[in-house]
Structure 1
Amino acid sequence: MFGAIVGVLATIATISAIIKKYNQHAVLYASGLSMMALATIFSGKSVLGDKTTGSVIVDLFQFITNTASSQLGGLGLIVMSVAGFAVYMDHIGASRRLASLAIRPLQRLNRPYLVLGLTYTVGQILNIFIPSASGLALLMIVTMFPILLALGIPRLSAAAVIVTTACLDLGPASGNANLAAKTAGIDVAVYFVQYQIPVAIAVIIGITVLHIVVQKYYDKKDIANGTAPAEEEEFKYEEQEEAPLFYALLPIFPLALLLTFSSFTITTVKMNVVTAMFIGLTLSMICEAIRRKNGKVVLASIKVFFDGMGRNLALVVTLIVAGQTFAQGLTQIGLIGYVIETTKGMGFGIEAMMIVMTLIIAVTSIITGSGNAAFFAFAPLAPTVATAVGANPIIMLLPMQLVSGIARSASPILAATIAVAGIVGVNTFDVAKRALIPMMGGTLITIIMTILLV
């Protein structure tokens, strides 16, 4: 019981520190190490069990070493390769070409709020191939924002929709999706097709409808209150060289490989995410060599890919290790075991646990503007909790993973929100206010559909 109380206090202190803008990595490391140290003092046992180094103190840090070693060669390499490929796609103009091609059908419609809602739908689909929330938002600003203004949509409504286009982290290009799949012990392609897509279809439809209704309501309210902005000026942006049309296929190519060589189609060839990304990179560089006719420049461009990998090693992969350190601390201190036994005794099922964990992640994500810290910290606990009550870990991991992105998109301090608001000239809190109801609806639909389908 005492250990559980310590675990609760440590969790509260950790979330509070992250909210106060303390470094997320350091907070999770410090909290996890502190709980493991206390657990070692209380029990006299090493956190490594029979694999002790011979010193219980050294064992605390050896756990971090072991975790980092396993993650760098596994999930960490996946996250880094995906990030590097995404940066390279942006560098050669392939992401922008895909976005401009995808929004082309919307240009033919003349129903402003329908186009506004479908802007979210198209953007969310693009997010499968363009995993960066900020990168996708800026692409939508360049390609879709001028169209929305021309249709008479106010800047604030357009901005609110655009910042939410990456609210669902879908597909093998998502680091969070890869972590969820690995934690559940399944292939990421299976996680995407069998679990994410059925739930995401309902969520995307719901958010699309909510955006149409909510943005139209707020626009009418602004007009009635006399707070509507003046007539919109034409939005101007710097013109860039347009990539060839077939470049739109390059961001899609790795996903096509993963789905082709998976348990759904061809099983004789094994294909993982990292391999697919390097094949995609090689094909892209060949295309660039043909386009540029300058081998030296094209070969030098590979540095863009590796720079993207390096940035995500520093930002994301280290956060995964920190999150697992925190999760191990909660387990060692006895909080997870206590929660499992208590919920069993009170007759609570996995659904109740899932809702509580999902809401904790949602609140933390809104306040911090990032879903990564909360999800990385609590995701490793899902299999333990689910197994204890005889449930599939996916029923916890799927809503936790999806809602971490949904809730993040309603935060006024989200990087994408700050970037978009600054470019279009609106207030970040006004954008977040417009996004809140659609994201709350998305959270509710995610929980309901998970209970019904998983």
Structure 2
Amino acid sequence: MGITQWLAVAMIFVVIYGLIKRYETRLVLIGSGLVLCLLSWDLIGGLNAFAKSMTNSSLVMAICASMGFAFVARYTNADRSLVHYLASPIRGLGVLLVPVCTAITFFVNIAIPSAAGCAAAVGSTLIPVMLRAGIKPAGAAAAVLAGTIGSYLSPGTSHNPYVANMAGIDVMDFIAFHAPYSLIIGAFGVVGTLLFCILFGDHKGDANAKVDESKLQKQDDFKPSPVLALVPLVPITILVVGNLWCPFIKMGVAQAMVLGAVIALVLARANPQTFTKEFFNGTGKGYADVMGIIIAAGVFAAGLKSAGLIDTFVQALKESNEIARWGGSIGPFIMGVITGSGDAATLAFNETVTPHAKDFGMTIEGLGGLAFLAGAAGRTASPLAGVTILVSGIAMVSPIEVVKRTAVPMLAATIVCALIMV
């Protein structure tokens, strides 16, 4: 390898260090990418990558509209109503509350794709229920955390339109492709977390267990509505039914999210002006937080490409697809654990390596799907993840104690998916 390639390798370690130290992700990726482009005498390449990612219409539409709908669901209390009605029938199940709560969180996370947003809505209700039923705080928090892998079945999750666009297929077709593997990871979360909770004696209860009231959602004048509880399911239902059974209602992700938002407005009889502000606040948040990382990963990938490292790496992968198999699974998993986020590492991998999947006997959707599922599993096993800290705070327990119950099931699920997915 030449000097610029070795500099690119060194820069990768700088990026990893920056992510571990929890520096601003977009700054780390964009800065390192532009430095590599500059060292390779190709600064315009990095700037072009920035501009190209900014105007990726399919990604912008799906991600921003989905975040807008998520804000609307929160504003109308549709998300809280859904959680309320799902939680009502499960009281009194004893230790079986753990797998049931994990499954409920998984299901809700499809409708509310933000892991932290879902955990806040679900955890505020289910963690107190589990504590009152005699589940130890760490087990209660782990039950919710393990279910936050469900967002990867949501068309609003950034990775779905990202990989689908790369593979040249419809978002719903890509979700249909990886759905069995996502469900496998979900099953590992349900069963594995239960087994570890039993192993740690979480079903024996803790007389001193309590929740941090300051971290619970304020009840105010909240009154659950069975009609509003259905609103978070509207876009997903439209997309699934339209793609599978009723082609005449088939539409894009953005269109389904906007239609769901309009239905929420009508059913909630909300103030249209406030409602509109909330929707566009969500779209702006989606562009800033989600598209921002995608843009930054694109610039970093451009830097690695300019330095020639990607071509060298792809050539090595052609020698053995086992390197790609484990690099695309264990790599994102480990990065998810040590950084608390599966997004940055996964997007960088999918931007640089996944487009060449066919060169080493794999499909783009297979390798891309494996990478983002592994990254999400790593995040679910990380004590540094924002969602882990959130549920740990509600249950007033150490994040380390929580991930003791989720780490092994998530690692096992990643290994299984690596073996069967590509």
TM-score of the pair, normalised by structure 2 = 0.91
Partner of 1:51: none
Q: Distance in 2 between matches of 1:323 and 1:332?
A: 14
Q: Distance in 2 between matches of 1:243 and 1:165?
A: 23
User: Is the deviation greater in 210-219 or in 412-421?
Assistant: 412-421
Among candidates 393, 402, 407, match of residue 364 of structure 2: 393
Q: Distance in 1 between matches of 2:353 and 2:48?
A: 23
Q: Which amino acid aligns with 1:363?
A: I
Q: What are the superposed Cα offsets for residues 218-274 of structure 1, whole Å, 9 maximum, x if unpaired?
A: 127x98xxxx84344588664341232011211111111112332x33445551111
Q: Distance in 2 between matches of 1:427 and 1:170?
A: 29
Q: What are the superposed Cα offsets for residues 365-410 of structure 1, whole Å, 9 maximum, x if unpaired?
A: 1111111111121112244331212421122111111111111122
Distance 1:384 1:142, change over 3 A: closer
* Cα contact 1:36–1:333 (8 A) shared by 2: yes
Structure 1 regions of 5+ residues with no counterpart?
41-46, 48-56
Partner of 1:316: 290
* Cα contact 2:81–2:224 (8 A) shared by 1: yes
Q: Distance in 1 between matches of 2:101 and 2:405?
A: 15
1:419 and 2:390 are equivalent in the alignment: yes
Q: Which has the larger radius of gyration?
A: 1
Matches within 5 A, 1:117-132: 117-132=99-114
1:255 and 2:236 are equivalent in the alignment: yes
Partner of 1:377: 348
Partner of 1:23: 24
Partner of 2:148: 166
Q: Distance in 2 between matches of 1:367 and 1:381?
A: 21
Offset at 1:217? 1.0
Q: Distance in 2 between matches of 1:231 and 1:13?
A: 44
Among candidates 206, 225, 238, match of residue 244 of structure 1: 225
* Cα contact 1:183–1:379 (8 A) shared by 2: no
Partner of 1:180: 163
Q: Distance in 1 between matches of 2:45 and 2:160?
A: 30
Q: Distance in 2 between matches of 1:197 and 1:384?
A: 21
Q: Which amino acid aligns with 2:175?
A: F
* Cα contact 2:392–2:399 (8 A) shared by 1: yes
Partner of 1:337: 311
Among candidates 192, 204, 207, match of residue 230 of structure 1: 207
SS of 2:223's equivalent in the other structure is coil
* Cα contact 2:336–2:379 (8 A) shared by 1: yes
Partner of 1:272: 252
Q: Which amino acid aligns with 1:360?
A: G
* Cα contact 1:92–1:243 (8 A) shared by 2: no
Partner of 1:441: 412
Distance 1:19 1:244, change over 3 A: same
Matches within 5 A, 1:199-218: 199-218=181-200
Offset at 1:136? 1.3
Structure 2 regions of 5+ residues with no counterpart?
none
Q: Distance in 2 between matches of 1:104 and 1:448?
A: 39
1:99 and 2:74 are equivalent in the alignment: no
Q: Distance in 1 between matches of 2:259 and 2:185?
A: 32
Q: Which amino acid aligns with 1:179?
A: Y
Offset at 1:343? 3.3
SS of 1:399's equivalent in the other structure is helix
* Cα contact 1:10–1:31 (8 A) shared by 2: yes
Q: Distance in 2 between matches of 1:201 and 1:26?
A: 34
Q: Which amino acid aligns with 1:433?
A: K
Offset at 1:449? 3.5
Q: Count how many residue pairs are aligned between Structure 1 and Structure 2.
A: 416
TM-score of the pair, normalised by structure 1 = 0.85
Partner of 1:54: none
Distance 1:234 1:137, change over 3 A: closer
1:300 and 2:274 are equivalent in the alignment: yes
RMSD: 2.3
* Cα contact 2:99–2:143 (8 A) shared by 1: yes
Distance 1:67 1:130, change over 3 A: closer
Q: Which amino acid aligns with 1:65?
A: A
